[in-house]
Structure 1
Amino acid sequence: MIKYTLTCTKGHAFESWFRDSLGYDDLAESGQLTCPVCGSAEVRKAVMAPSVVRGRRAGSEQQAQAGAAEPQGVVQHPIALLDERERKVREMMRDLHRKITENADDVGRNFPSEARRMHEGETPVRSIYGEATGEEVRSLLDDGVPLLPMPVLPDDHH
C-alpha cells in the first residue's frame, strides 16, 4: 500500500491509499479518482519528498559519550504508526471488502462483459465483482453502467 497526497485543480489537498503506483494511475485514467471536497476528477499527485532521518548506529551512543566522533552518513528511516482514525478506516475497508466478496459473484476477467450484459437486460441483475482494465472501466462508465471500484485491502505490514 502507498499513501499519496493529492490535489485537485481548485487547490484542495487530501490523502488517499493505493495498492501501488499503478493503482493510482488506473483510477486517475479511468476518472474514478475525485476530490472529496468539490468532486473534480482533475486530481494530481502533490509534490512529495521522502522523509529521511539521520540517526546513530547501535553502540554509537557509547562512542559519543567516550568522545569518539559520531558516524557520518548513517540514515534511519522513520516508522509510521497508525493513529486510531487510520486503523478504523482500514477496518472499514476490510469489512466492506468482506461484505462484497460474501454477497457478490466473482466473475474475474469476465467483469466487463457480465456488467454490460446485465446493464443491457440480457441477464438478470445481480451483485458481481471482478477485474477490468482502465479502458474497460471508462467504456462501461461512458455507457452508463453503474459500477464502483472495489476497495483494495490494506497491507498490515505497510
Structure 2
Amino acid sequence: MKVLDLQCPHGHRFEGWFASTDDFESQLSRKLVECPICGATEVSRLPSAPRLNLSGASDAQQVAADTGEQQARVMRALREVLEKTENVGDRFAEEARRIHYDEAPARSIRGVTTPEDAKALVEEGIEIMSLPIPAALKEPLQ
C-alpha cells in the first residue's frame, strides 16, 4: 500500500492510499481522486519523504501541519452539523418559515434555497446561515 501526499489547486493537502503508483495514476486519469475538502479532481502529487519527528522542524512544516489540523477541525465540525440537523432539501425556506411561525416543531434544519428566498427569510427576521458542504461529506463514506 502506497500513501501519497496530495494537493488540490486550492491548496488543500491530504493523503491518498493506493495499491501502487500505477493505481494512483490510473485513478487520477479517470478523475476518481478528489479533494476531501472541496471535491476538486485536479489533484497533484507532492514530494514526500519519510516523516521524522525532529525537534528542529522548519516554520514551513509547522504552518503546513497547522493548516492540516485546522482543515481536520473544520471537517469534524461540518460532520457534527450534518449529524445534528435534518436535511429538508429544497423545502428549506418553506420549513424555516413554518418553524419560525410555530407551524412546525422547532428543530435544526439544513437544505438549499435560492439567494432571493434567503434574503426574504432574513428580512422576515428568520436567522439563517450559509454553510457550503464539501462534496466528500455529501455522500456516505465507503
Which TM-score band applies after superposition, normalised by the shorter structure?
0.3 to 0.5
TM-score by length of 1: 0.44
Rg larger for: 1
TM-score by length of 2: 0.48
